[in-house]
Amino acid sequence: MATQSTLLCIHRDPDQLLHLEEKGYRLVTATCGQEGLRQLMSQPVDAVVMEYHLGLLDGAVVASEIKQAKPQIPIVMVCDNLELPEDAWKSVDAIAMKSDGQHFLVATVHFVLSVQWEQQQATRTAAAGKPFNRLGLGRPRRTTTTRARRSAPPSEDATLPPRV
């Protein structure tokens, strides 16, 4: 999935997110919130990775604008610590701390894209009137019920007294 996904990276120093490109993602970069919003409107993206501290517009404001314009796009916010204002949590799908390392950010992006894909598949199959299972394939599993075994009708030998 990573080789096909395009990420909009809104970060003061986009070079800090180049490891996402090394993992196979296509990056569209912006260094401020306004530029990021313009990029979002001008080309298709699969997810947004953004820094909380962006300068004039903080990440919470930009995330809110993104969700208003394109609510289906998942947003991963990168921050220094988890002590963020409450409004910062409202519009994002996941938060990655810089101290957790690059591998955690890659895993978080992969996760939100996977969840987004499953939700899209569920929506499509529900719209088509088809059943959907967790894996997005075919019909849901049927649970089997066990029937009570029927005992064979008593034979004539069973009614005879036992032989002595």
> For residue 20, what is the domain's CATH number?
3.40.50.2300
* pTM, two decimal places: 0.69
Contact 76, 109 (CB under 8 A): yes
Q: State the chain's mean pLDDT as an integer.
A: 78
Task: Answer whether residue 42 is part of any domain.
Answer: yes
pLDDT for position 156: 52
The range of the structural domain enclosing residue 77 comes to: 2-127
The tally of domains found in the chain comes to 1
For residue 53, the model assigns a pLDDT of: 83
- Ranked by mean pLDDT, which of 1-5, 48-52, 136-140, 151-155 comes out on top? 48-52
Residue 142 resides in a domain: no
Instruction: With respect to residue 150, please indicate whether it lies within any of the assigned structural domains.
Output: no
Residue 25 lies in a domain: yes
pLDDT digits (tens, 9 = 90+) for 13-71: 988 899 999 999 999 999 999 999 999 999 999 999 999 888 777 888 999 999 999 99
According to the model, what pLDDT value does residue 150 have? 47
Q: Could you tell me if residue 146 is inside a domain?
A: no
Grade residue 113 by pLDDT with cuts at 50, 70 and 90: very high
Distance CA 128, CA 114 (A): 21
Residue 117 lies in a domain: yes
Angle between helical axes of 33-42 and 59-69 (0-180°, round to 10): 20
Is residue 36 within 8 A of residue 12, CB to CB? The reply is no
Percentage of the chain with pLDDT > 70? 68
User: Quick one: tokens of 66?
Assistant: 């993104």
